[in-house]
Structure 1
Amino acid sequence: MQAPLNIALVGNPNSGKSSLFNVLTGLNQKVSNFPGVTVDKKTGSAKISPNLTANIIDLPGTYSLYPKSADEFVTYDVLINPQNRDKPDMILVIADASNLKRNLLFCSQIIDLKIPIIIALTMMDLAKSKGVEIDLPGLERELGVPVVAINPRKNKGMAELRKNIELLASEKFGAPARDFIDNQSLASNVIHDVKEVFPTSSDYAALHVAVNYEELTFLSGSQKKVIGDSIKNNQFNKTKVQAEEIMQRFARIKHVMKAAVVETAPFQKQLQTERIDNILLHRTWGYVILLVVMFLLFQSIFWFASYPMDVIEAGFGSLGGWLTDILPSNNFSDLLINGVIAGLGGIAVFIPQIMILFGLITILEDTGYMARISFLTDRLMRQVGLNGKSVMPLISGVACAVPAIMATRNIENRKERLITILVTPLMSCSARLPIYTIMIALVIPSKTILGFLSLQGLVMMGLYLLGFIMAIMIAAVLKWLIRIKEKSYFIMELPDYRAPRWKNVGTTMVEKAKIFITDAGKVIMVISIILWFLASYGPSKKMDAVHAKFEPLIEQASTDSIRAEIEKSFQSEKLANSYAGILGHAIEPAIRPLGFDWKIGIALITSFAAREVFVGTMATLYSVGEDADENDATLREKMEAATWKDGRPVYTLGAGLSLMLFYAFAMQCMSTLAIVKRETKSWKFPVIQFVYMTVLAYVSSLIIFQLFK
């Protein structure tokens, strides 16, 4: 059996690279970081044939071998640096057949590195629908490398691809025999001097060493000096050389396209896309349509999720009541019912809304409209120190701030990337959704406006828009505070419109629900058990005093109704004197001006681990402090019945709005702070982020409560 090959997967973004990686590696995958950087490194093991296995390295997508971002530089280093531990034995270039001309630029650069290469063409069906016919044997002849048509989603062409990999591995094919363009003519003397001090795989690789020699860590000081002297002596202008190279490549690509590609109806699809874009990207109507789309998205979360949510809520309530009836009254049953079941029930009810939110976002991405949102908002973004590329992380922040902040890596401008990182957590993520939902249900009437607009849906949309508006305002302030001067450009290819892949939508909904259940469930389980203990036990002196006060009164009660009232007061006072109650009362003076009681205070602390823990915390606290007869009541009903000592309801309109606003702005997420530290390589920025968001949340909540109390 041959030793495992190192195969690098490279290609333009959105070319189908990830799909191929998943098909080749199956479940044999792992994600780590490339050495020294925070860019994700996806690797996997693939069985190519009975006698050949391969280590597949999925490199970040890039449009050319001239890197502009951290992601692109990782790809560049793996391909150019002969000392890189991930140096590939073979390169698999994934090219989008429906955009072949653009993809061939990167393919041609890889060919000139003179490393064994296979070009895998994806999206052949989309190319055919555009009227593009590709002569694969002709394309192979023109490029001088193997070309295979594949469809990873349908497992088409995979056998032929594996066969080509096997042939290349057995040296039936070698590295490309000829250059795609005459690289020597671009800077022959400099290329010669580079190869004298640093052996490279090709003339083109030597040219890249000359262009980027100052940034390349694998060159020694003496090597850099020799290369620098050669560049100076030969008056090497890297900008001019790059421009000349690109012009030569596109001239050669034009010849290749003419020889191997036939476009029978090249303008039909383009005209259809342009007609739709004339409406969706209109200077006025485009923004109106965007607001309508966002409105429908948040209305749908309430329209479609209400029935399954009611069923789940009632189911957990019934389960709690049933377990109370059949289990003996002891600490274990109390922990199970009032700790674990109450905590998980408080979060499971929001699964339908999470699934619907992610399903609708996936539809927007699949249809091509999400890219139009970036284009539409670029002008606004630039006014506040960002650009259109900042929109995708901000929109991703509606799902989760952690991957959204990681997505800022494709923003080349350092200042714009830093501002985007600092404001992205203001976008309302899915972890805030359970808090918004339960508070809206408590304090916002369930009624319609104009007969069809849900008031609760409008409030939900308002909270998401508020997060976006505040992110824009903070970005405008940071634009003047962060003193980094660097030009930026926004270049984006708008994809064709196409029908959403419903299987992909369904898979995403299920996967996100699984992640929400497992990730949130683990945290909630631990927090619920700790909370149950803190809420059930307290200092012996205080707890003994409570027992001494109420036990004689319970025994002396003349009727069942009186006994039930005393029992309820007994449970309430036990909770108030427990460890959790003492902690809550200690912080209550600081949060009382916001309309929050001590129970909400405890939830504010526990939800710092993860915002969604708020609901689980409230479920546990209200379960521990209640009479056994009320175990079948829903959390919403328990919170509606909550009162201050003077009998006033806790959850008034003012308190509800205050709480929603606090969670809209507060940095209640340890994971986000950790990822900000990792991406910025400094604790300074997460500390700044935590402080400004906490102050913003407190002041905003204080103002709104005073206005509506």
Structure 2
Amino acid sequence: MKADIRVALVGNPNTGKSTLFNALTGLNQKVGNFPGVTVDKKTGISQLPDGRRAEIVDLPGTYSLYPKSRDESIVFSVLAERDTELTPDLIVVILDATNLKRNLLLYTQVADLKIPVIVALNMIDMANKGGITIDTALLSKKLGVSVVPVSARKLEGINELKQAISYANKIALQQDSIDVRSVAPELISDICEEVKTNNPYFALQLAHQHETLKFLKPEESDRIEALEHKHSFHSQKAQATETIARYNYINDVLYDTVKTPAAAHDESISNKIDKILTHRVFGFIIFLGVLLFMFQSIFAWSSYPQSLIEDGFVWVEGLLRGVMPEGPLADLLIDGVVAGLSGVLVFIPQIAVLFAFISILEDTGYMARVTFMMDKIMRKVGLNGKSVVPLIGGFACAVPSIMSTRTIENWKDRMITIMVTPLVTCSARLPVYTLLIALVVPNRNVWWIFNLQGLALTGMYLLSLLSAIIVAWVMKFVLKARERGYFIMELPVYRMPRWNNVLFSMFERSKAFVLQAGKVIIAVSIILWVLSSYGPGDRFKNIGTKYSQPQIVKTMTPDSLARVISTEKLENSYAGVLGHVIEPVIKPIGFDWKIGIALITSFAAREVFVGTMATIYSVEGDADRIESVQDKMRNAKNPDGSPVFTLAVAFSLMMFYAFAMQCASTVAVVYRETKDWRWPAAQFAYMTFLAYASAFLVYTLLR
């Protein structure tokens, strides 16, 4: 059903715009891309008090209509282009009630475009708590628009805001903030005549941004460019003149509408906390402690639910073997689909804990502090401070993190960030690490609540960050560019995490992980089962003939005979042949042909490794003995009877997975962001080299 009114949300970063979007739309939202670009577009439906349905469009956060990044350029494009599927009927400008002076700059620019506007005065509870008094009625009168106090985090004022949206078409247009024509009178008049508009600020923005606006025809852009030369227009000087005029207007507006306490200049609680958490020494020690606690918790808190899931799959496999007749269909379902799925679903608790911590760190404002602390280090290796955001986001997934590099203006900084972000340990590596660490690292405490397994996992995460920084430093000298990057970031005040948001994030991200990984794993598991259960030529027939001879049958128990036959069939299957082909290449790093199969299948997605191991050892194993994935790998033996997964092999595998580019989605998004296959090809090549070299080094040292 089509919406009755389209509403765009506009605001500075860290004003609670996304929180307000969620409050207005609930779960009735979807994510796509803005037309022609890869910038995310979030839209949702809100039910208004008068019965109408409003389509809410969440525009990227920006400090001004003058863009500094691709995301910010979307805002003016959407607001300026008329009669499209995104053209808003109404704009809700979100203002931070604790910092109105800064926020009102964007408001005055948006208001001068003469699209109906209302103001959502967010974080009003924080302003009241800080002793800031705002006369909203007088502010509304001075601006000429409705001003609605809200607290999006606490869901306060949401109904009043919906009511204001309902009445938006019944209120007068907002007042002019400045005399726009005085900035460049002759040029604005000529552009107004050229593009047939009576809005002087729209004409002025065309003078500034016509080269990047896709809705302008090339000949229109050329004529505007000619008018700029005719009137000797200087964009930066015009922006400065405009900004000064706007702040003069803002000062007049705020003079008798906002009262701040006399002690407002004193240190806020956030500033006092920052003296400790962002300290040049203690800040990094605290951050390391947070990481240690986080990864320790991943093991400790998820162990019990993991055991329940493992026991559940063992019960399901036993039940299916009891009710289904023996044959290819039962083997496919049990050894292929169920075994493959168990390798993913068993790690849901660990994924959920990881995303819960990331959500809490983001919600409290601590993640922004980590970004701030890492800025100096980033600059030394040739990166922009904004590069930290994708790198930290890489702990969850490299795909959205690489897409977030669009906020980095400097080309060189952006390309280096794209090239090193996949080195950061993502959630897809977590099942591989936790499984292998649990196999070879003792679950023994070494200090207080920290044990060896948690320390090993922390080490893998720190290694990924360190390797990303080192590779970035090398690329600093490889890539050449004259641009200089800069880092501007506002530190939000500390807040308690929104626990409903944390739970929602855990559920949504875990669901996305399972659905995305599950599709690939089921497909790979079925293909792998077929490749493992059938072989070329008469190999399987010859094996059956060989072990049907009486002299062999008499020397072995039925269980031993069944295991020998299944092992030899697996080795002669299509999967076994493929594994043996690559075995000479991977033998120096401690991997046999079975692990080689897992390496090949997990190039689709890293987490497929666990499902592949489960499938391979289910096909090879005793049908009467039902085990969890961990047990199957722990009991895996070499021909000489030694365990397959020794300390050297396990850590060699982890090093390979730490560096190898085993993610088809990441390769695709790197191409999409760079529009050149040479970048993902170079990335794949250098990461594969690092993976092999590091695995070889670790295996050589530990065996």
- Compute the TM-score of the two structures, normalised by the length of structure 2: 0.95
Q: Does 1:685 align with 2:679?
A: yes
SS in structure 2 of the partner of residue 98 of structure 1? coil
Is 1:577 paired with 2:609?
no
Return the offset for 1:357.
Answer: 0.9
Structure 1: gaps (5+ residues): none
Aligned counterpart in structure 1 of residue 621 of structure 2, from 626, 651, 667 = 626
* Alignment counterpart, residue 264 of structure 1, candidates 235, 240, 261: 261
Match of residue 347 from structure 1: 344
Superposition pairs of residues 222-261 of structure 1, within 5 angstroms: 223-261=220-258
Correspondence list, 1:341-380, <5 A: 341-380=338-377
Partner of 1:43: 43
Q: Which residue of 2 aligns with 1:489?
A: 486
Cα distance in 2 for residues equivalent to 1:704 and 1:185: 69
Distance (Å, rounded) in 1 between the aligned partners of 2:216 and 2:635: 71
SS at match of 2:547: helix
Judge conservation of contact 2:62–2:72 (CA < 8 Å) in 1: yes
Quote the offset at 1:649 in angstroms: 2.3
Q: Find out whether 1:425 has 2:422 as its counterpart.
A: yes
Deviates more, 1:642-651 or 1:347-356: 642-651
Residue by residue over 1:478-519, the C-alpha shift from the partner in whole angstroms, topping out at 9 and shown as x without a partner, is 112222221222111111112222222222222222222222
Check conservation: 1:119, 1:146, Cα contact below 8 A.
yes
Mapping of residues 368-447 of structure 1, within 5 Å: 368-447=365-444
Deviates most, 264-273 or 120-129:
264-273
2: CA distance, partners of 1:293 / 1:195: 57
Structure 2: distance between partners of 1:552 and 1:206: 92
Give the letter aligned to residue 11 of structure 2.
G
Question: 2:143 maps to which residue?
Answer: 143
Match of 2:495 among 494, 498, 504: 498
1:114–1:201 contact (8 Å) kept in structure 2: no
- Residue by residue, what CA displacement relative to the aligned partner does 1:25-81 show, whole Å, maximum 9, x if unpaired? 455533322222111222344443556444332211111111010101111211233
- The more displaced of 100-109 and 321-330 is 321-330
- Aligned partner of 1:668 in structure 2 is 662
Between the aligned partners of 2:113 and 2:246, the Cα distance in structure 1 is 14
Q: Secondary structure at the match of 1:630?
A: coil
**Equivalent pair of 1:115/1:201 in contact (CA under 8 Å):** no
CA distance in 2, matches of 1:554, 1:148: 90
Q: Which moved more, 1:196-205 or 1:338-347?
A: 196-205
What is the identity, as a one-letter code, of the residue corresponding to 2:171?
F
User: 1:146 is matched by which residue type in structure 2?
Assistant: S
Encode CA deviations 1:105-150: one digit per residue, 9 max, x unaligned: 1111111111111111222112222222221111111111121223
Match of 1:557 in 2: 554
Contact 1:339/1:532 (CA < 8 Å) preserved in 2? yes
1:322 CA displacement: 4.1
Give the aligned residue type for 1:664.
A
C-alpha contact (below 8 Å) 2:296/2:454 kept by paired residues? yes
TM-score where L is the length of structure 1 = 0.94
1:647 is the counterpart of 2:645: no
What is residue 106 of structure 2 aligned with on the other side?
106
Identity among equivalent pairs (%): 52
Q: Contact 2:144–2:172 (CA<8 Å) still a contact in 1?
A: no
Deviations 1:619-656 (A, max 9, x none): 0110111112222x222222222222233322111111
In structure 2, give the amino acid aligned to 1:636.
Answer: Q
Q: In the aligned structure 1, how far is the partner of 2:3 from the partner of 2:394?
A: 43
Instruction: Identify if the C-alpha distance between structure 1 residues 269 and 444 changes in structure 2 by more than 3 Å, giving closer, same or farther.
Output: farther
Structure 2: distance between partners of 1:626 and 1:610: 25
1:270 CA displacement = 4.3
CA distance in 2, matches of 1:2, 1:466: 50
Tell me the CA shift for residue 600 of structure 1. 0.8
Cα distance 1:554–1:523, how it changes in 2: closer, same or farther (>3 A)? farther
Question: Post-superposition shift, 1:159?
Answer: 3.5
- 2:119 aligned counterpart, secondary structure: strand
* Bigger shift: residues 468-477 or 246-255: 246-255
Are 2:153 and 2:498, in contact at CA under 8 Å, matched by a contact in 1?
no
RMSD of Structure 2 on Structure 1 (CA): 2.3
Counterpart secondary structure, 1:596 = coil
Matched residue of 1:120: which SS? strand
What is the CA–CA distance in structure 2 between the aligned matches of 1:237 and 1:397, rounded to whole Å? 40
CA distance in 2, matches of 1:308, 1:282: 38
Change in 2 beyond 3 A, CA 1:269/1:314:
farther
Gaps of 5+ in 2: none
Greater displacement, 662-671 / 344-353 = 344-353
1:249 Cα offset (Å):
1.6
Instruction: Specify the alignment match of 1:592 in structure 2.
Output: 587
1:317–1:634 Cα contact (<8 Å) kept: yes
Paired letter, 2:29:
Q
Contact 1:191 1:207 in 2 (8 A): yes
Q: 1:575·1:625 contact (CA, 8 Å) conserved in 2? A: yes
Structure 1 residues 318 and 371 mapped into 2: Cα distance closer, same or farther (>3 Å)?
Answer: same
Q: Tell me the equivalent position of 2:294.
A: 297
* Amino acid corresponding to residue 677 of structure 2 in structure 1: W
8 Å CA contact retained: 2:50, 2:166: no
Give 3-state SS (helix, strand or coil) of 1:302's partner: helix
Report the Cα offset of residue 451 of structure 1. 5.8
Partner residue, 1:173: 171
The secondary structure found in structure 2 opposite 1:648 is: coil
Counterpart position of 1:71: 71
Displacement of 1:554 in angstroms is 9.2
Distance between the aligned counterparts of 1:58 and 1:307, measured in 2?
40
Check whether the contact 2:192–2:198 (CA below 8 A) recurs between aligned residues: no
Aligned residue type for 1:274: N
Displacement of 1:218 after TM fit? 3.8
Contact 1:354 1:430 (8 Å CA) reproduced? yes
Aligned to 1:273: 270
Quick one: distance in 2 between partners of 1:390 and 1:62? 18
- What is the match of residue 637 of structure 1? 631
